[in-house]
Amino acid sequence: MAQKKQPRTPPRPSPTPRGVSKGALQKSKPRDELSPDAYLRARIRDVPDFPRPGIMFKDIVPLLADPKAFHMVLDGLAHPFIGEHVDVVAGIEARGFIFGGALAARLNASFVPLRKPGKLPGETDRVSYALEYGANELEIQDDSLENGAKVLIVDDLLATGGTAAAAGELVRRQGGYVAAYAFAVELDFLKGRRKLAPTPVVSLLRY
């Protein structure tokens, strides 16, 4: 009777995914039992009094450091737009670039940056707006949008809505149509959503 061929070397343990330490994988095991919402919330770090006294800063860096969490956020933000035609994802500097760029690639859309003043070369259009802390300005390059382009505006977090409303104004002024706004985090108590109505707002983690 033919003998079963023995493997010459013992099977190797499956490789650790690139960029993930073995320690991190072991630690994340019990947390995998959390609901998706709790899994993501556990990766948003509250930093009191940053960047000013009285502000509870929602730090998304731990979420970005976890490939699974980042993937889940991108899935959640992309989901409502699968099958909807989005021409352009416009990301708001700086954290809106992180989610916006990845989302544009998933939606087969272009990416257009909305930047802080003085960063974009060539002719630009600019708006000023009030922040939860302080004031700011945003710029877009002239002619970066086709007339009537369907635009999804993306940022990491919706607070008072001033930044996103300013982004919407810029997009419309450049001939774009703001189809929706998308955020990883929304601070409900600041009612930013009202400032963006009637345009649809998608957010994943509401506080």
Determine which one of 31, 106, 126, 132 is catalytic: 132
Determine whether 95 is an active site residue.
yes
Query: Least CB distance from residue 6 to ligand AMP, whole Å?
Result: 58
> Residue 115: which of 98, 140, 145, 88 has the closest Cα?
140
- Distance of alpha carbon 132 from its chain centroid, rounded? 19
Query: Least CB distance from residue 150 to ligand AMP, whole Å?
Result: 22
Residues at the site binding ligand AMP, with contacts judged by CB under 6 A: 55-58, 92, 95, 131-132, 155-164, 192
Q: What are 89's two structure tokens? A: 């994802």
Determine which one of 43, 93, 95, 193 is catalytic: 95
Q: What are 112's two structure tokens? A: 């257009």
Query: Least CB distance from residue 71 to ligand AMP, whole Å?
Result: 21
73 Ramachandran zone, left/alpha/beta (phi>0; psi -120 to 50): alpha
Determine whether 137 is an active site residue.
no
Smaller CB separation from ligand AMP, 160 or 203: 160
Q: Cβ of 80: how many Cβ atoms within 10 Å?
A: 13
Smaller CB separation from ligand AMP, 157 or 204: 157
Query: Least CB distance from residue 195 to ligand AMP, whole Å?
Result: 8
Smaller CB separation from ligand AMP, 49 or 146: 49
Long-range contacts of 126-129 (CB under 8 A, 24+ apart): 126/170, 127/166, 127/169, 127/170, 127/173, 128/166, 129/162, 129/163, 129/165, 129/166
Interatomic CA distance for residues 103 and 1, integer angstroms: 58
Q: What are 183's two structure tokens? A: 């955020």
Smaller CB separation from ligand AMP, 133 or 177: 133
Q: Which residues are catalytic?
A: 95, 132
